[in-house]
Amino acid sequence: MGEFGGERLHSVIINKHQNRPIISKSKVQASPTMETHLHEKVHLGTVSAVVSSRTHSRCNICLQNKHNSCQTVRSRTKQMKILIEKKKPHQVQSIMKDLIEEGHTPTLVTYTTVLAALTLQKRFNSIPSLLSKVESNGLKPDSIFFNAMINAFSESGNIKEAMKMFKKMKDSGCKPTTSTLNTLIKGLGIVGKPEECIKLLEMLTLEENVKPNDRTFNIIAQAWCSKKDIAEAWSVVHKMVDYGIKPDVVTYNTIAQAYALNGDTYRAEDMIFQMQNNKVAPNKRTCGIIVNGYCREGNMNEAMRFVYRMKDLGVLPNDVVFNSLIKGFLDAADSDGVDETLEMMEEFGVKPDVITFSTIMNAWSSVGLMDKCQDIFDDMIKNGIEPDIHAFGILAKGYVRAGEPEKAEALLQVMKESKVSPNVVIFTTVISGWCSAGKMDYAMRVFDKMGKIGVSPNLKTFETLIWGFGEAKQPWKAEELLQVMEEKGVVPQKNTVELVAEAWRAIGVTDEAKRIMDHVEEDDDNFNEDDGEYDDTVELGLKKDEMPVNVINEGNGSPTIKSRSRIVVERAKFSPESISSVARKSVHSCRFGVKSMSVFHKRVQVKLQVSYYGHMNICKLVF
């Protein structure tokens, strides 16, 4: 199961003072920074803070009718929905805060919109307080609100709470809908239980007379594909037909994607004949899956062949297709292929987007040439393309790898000015940079900043800090973080506590290390029961004697973990003059996943031609 309960963590903290000799008062005394986290309850940026804001005056119209509030509330709610559609959910909370501070009363629709924004940002910890506020305001949740709540819990992988909300929905007299069924099935897929999906479908069909639709079966097929069981996914398609529902393009795309991810892109392409026989036309998504699949396999000839075949299918290549080709050719260090792709983009009138620029940025970042990476970023902004969280993540990761954490931290201010909210991945990346530099005061400063804007640290954030304090020979501060974790509601894994023990062991205080590990070993039997032992070293692909000590999250959310015997961030510096003679492998990412990129003993030039408002910019990429 991999988690320590609250009692075990509390036991480690309490016995710290009962069972060990005091090294020195200065060492065991909590630092001012730690005391801030241990004794203050700061809720800045959370929904509870937003909905509890004091107001100087109240809107009379809102007071008279909570269900049909004033024009201001309706207008602001509409504005929130537009922001969500524009993929800017992080701006919704500030609108909600202003609305309440101005004395208005949000409607159920407003709360439902905020709930959707929180779910998109994966800020699941704020959701229970939102439900509580809705109920305390005397608003009666409807089926739409309940479905949104169920969706939030399903997205977070908390299927138990999702089912509780489903029961509450029924008890309140709201009838479950097809949307309810689909959301619960999605939750089961997320937690890796596709076999339960059909059972739930049959139960709701029989007991609640809920009718499944094509989306229902597509979600179940996706759940099986996520487990790489394509045979079961096809069986879902057959059951779909039994229910009288015709498979659509999404159905076929789901299975095509599974084939491509499995390295069988040719099977995905073969499905086009089956689609056409069933009168289902392949779309841009279908073609994008196939092109990207061939690119992932390094089969660029097949990728280009299929792009030309797209014309026969009546589908024009879009930015997704071209971005896949650019990344594929970059991975292959093929400058001619990139040039050809960029020329094709211009011919088809497809403008480079944020992903195009980010892909080129990532190529520079991966070889340590951050000046060039920054130049591409600046060009992107000059051409009116707004950088997203992934673009900033590439810059932050690159600066940390280059041993320049101060530049990585400076990006936080740039993000604020760009109205892009940094997430836990960005903050943890910056923190890891300072930890690697041995500047723990700076690392904790970033940690504090993280809390002040309402971004919750995760397990990897704490493990990074614990490792940092261990390297800085300050194990008592590493141990203090266990209590901060308890305050923040982050449950340590076994490996987390082992990091603390290792920090004590590193300065030669083996008694302290033993004290820490004694409490871990007490409950080893419980730790291994039920679902089996959860060993995050295995999950991360490490040997058990290689402890994960730091994290730089890739663009796709996958952590890059390095063993304790190795420095976390490579600080190799390359000059334009020497890079052509260096063969280097580094892991980099973009939307299409993580792959190794080899820079061979040759120069590669890439021209990025950006046609924008009649202007042409040419950027050269030289390895």
Three-class SS state of 569: coil
Choose the weakest-confidence range: 314-318, 450-454, 540-544.
540-544
Confidence band of 584 (pLDDT split at 50, 70, 90): very low
For the residues 51-59, what does the mean pLDDT come to?
A: 55
Instruction: State residue 130's pLDDT score.
Output: 83
Confidence band of 91 (pLDDT split at 50, 70, 90): confident
State both tokens at 84.
Answer: 């969500």
Choose the weakest-confidence range: 53-67, 161-175, 287-301, 388-402.
53-67
For the residues 374-396, what does the mean pLDDT come to?
A: 92
State both tokens at 239.
Answer: 């059951």
**Average pLDDT taken over every residue of the chain:** 77
Q: Which residues share a beta bridge with 597?
A: 586
* Residue percentage of the chain with pLDDT more than 90: 46
pLDDT at 32 over 60: no
Q: Which residues of 75-232 form beta strands (DSSP E)?
A: none
Contacts of 308 (CB under 8 A, 6+ apart): none
Give 457-516 as a DSSP string: P-HHHHHHHHHHHHHTT-HHHHHHHHHHHHHHTPPPPHHHHHHHHHHHHHTT-HHHHHHH
Q: What is the pTM of this model?
A: 0.61
State phi, psi for 597 to the nearest 5 degrees. Answer: -120, 120
Which range has highest mean pLDDT (29-43, 52-66, 340-354, 400-414)?
A: 400-414
Angle in degrees, CA 45, 50, 112, rounded to 5 = 105
For the residues 162-176, what does the mean pLDDT come to?
A: 91
Sign of CA dihedral 80, 84, 87, 89: positive
pLDDT at 348 over 80: yes
Q: How many residues does the chain have?
A: 623
Fill in the DSSP letter of residue 99. H
Choose the weakest-confidence range: 18-32, 48-62, 253-267, 581-595.
581-595
Helix H or strand E segment including 116: helix 108-120
For the residues 57-75, what does the mean pLDDT come to?
A: 76
Measured between alpha carbons, how far is 552 from 568 in angstroms, rounded to an integer? Answer: 9
Instruction: State residue 537's pLDDT score.
Output: 29
Sign of CA dihedral 310, 315, 316, 322: negative
For the residues 303-316, what does the mean pLDDT come to?
A: 93
State both tokens at 378.
Answer: 């600046």
pLDDT at 419 over 90: no
pLDDT at 47 over 90: no
Confidence band of 526 (pLDDT split at 50, 70, 90): very low
Instruction: State residue 339's pLDDT score.
Output: 85
Integer angstrom CA distances of residue 536 from 493, 524, 541, 548:
8, 15, 8, 9
- Condensed to tens digits (0 to 9), the pLDDT of residues 554-568 reads 333 333 333 322 222
Instruction: State residue 517's pLDDT score.
Output: 82
For the residues 326-354, what does the mean pLDDT come to?
A: 89
Instruction: State residue 556's pLDDT score.
Output: 34
Instruction: State residue 522's pLDDT score.
Output: 57
